[in-house]
Amino acid sequence: MKRVAAISFPSKGVAGKTGVWRIRKPILDRQKCVKCLICWIYCPEGTILRKEDDSIEIDYEYCKGCGVCANECPARAIMMVEE
């Protein structure tokens, strides 16, 4: 396919491994997590990964450390810690 105008396709990590942008990282306390998935909805970068049992995992390769998940978590199960 020859491009005649600018088009682009969705792909992972076009800006590189954005995990290096972090100065603080989110740490999940599984004991406290109530699987409400609010963090999964709020994460602006899609770096909260939803598993089959609705538990979550954080993709540190791309998480920029913005802290939105920690701020929104109603169970206070995510803490931001210095890198």
Partner 1 sequence: MIYEIRFHGRGGQGAVTAAELLVKAAVTEGKWGQSFPFFGAERRGAPVTAYARISEEKHFIHSPITEPNIVVVLDKKILDVVDVTDGLKEDGTLIINSSRSFPKESLKKFRTCIVDATKIAVSLGLSVAGWVIVNTAMLGAIIKAVPIVTIESVMNAIRNNWSGRIGAINAEAARRAYEEASFL
Partner 2 sequence: MIRVLTGNHSVAYAALLSNVEVISAYPITPQTQIVEKLAEFVETGQLKAKYVRVESEHSAMAVCIGASSAGARTFTATSSHGLLYMSEMVYWASAARLPIVMPVVCRTLGPPWNIWNEHTDFLLVRDYGWVQFFAESNQELLDTVVQAYRIAEDERVLLPVMVGLDAFTLSHISEPVDVPEMDLVKKFLPPRSNIPYVLDPSKPFTFGNLAYPSHHMALKFMHHTSMENVIKVVSEVDNEWNKIFGRSYGILDKFMFDDARVVILTIGSSAGDAKEAAKYLRKRGVDAGVLRLRLTNPFPAKEISNILSNVEAVAVVDRNLSPGNGGIILEKVRSSLYSSKNRPFIKGYLAGLGGKDITVKDYVKIFEKTLESYKKGDSGTEWFNLNLEVTNL
Token readout for 8 is 């682009």
11 binds partner 2 per the rule CB under 8 A: no
8-state DSSP, 20: G
Tokens of 24: 């603080």
| Contact call for residue 67 and partner 1 (CB under 8 A) | no
Task: Choose the one of partner 1, partner 2, none that binds residue 25, judging by a C-beta under 5 to 8 angstroms depending on kind.
Answer: none
How many Cβ atoms sit within 10 Å of the Cβ of residue 24? 14
| 20 makes contact with partner 1 (CB under 8 A) | yes
> Binding-site residue total for partner 2 (CB under 8 A)?
6
What is residue 62's three-state secondary structure? coil
Chain residues binding partner 2 by CB under 8 A are 1-6
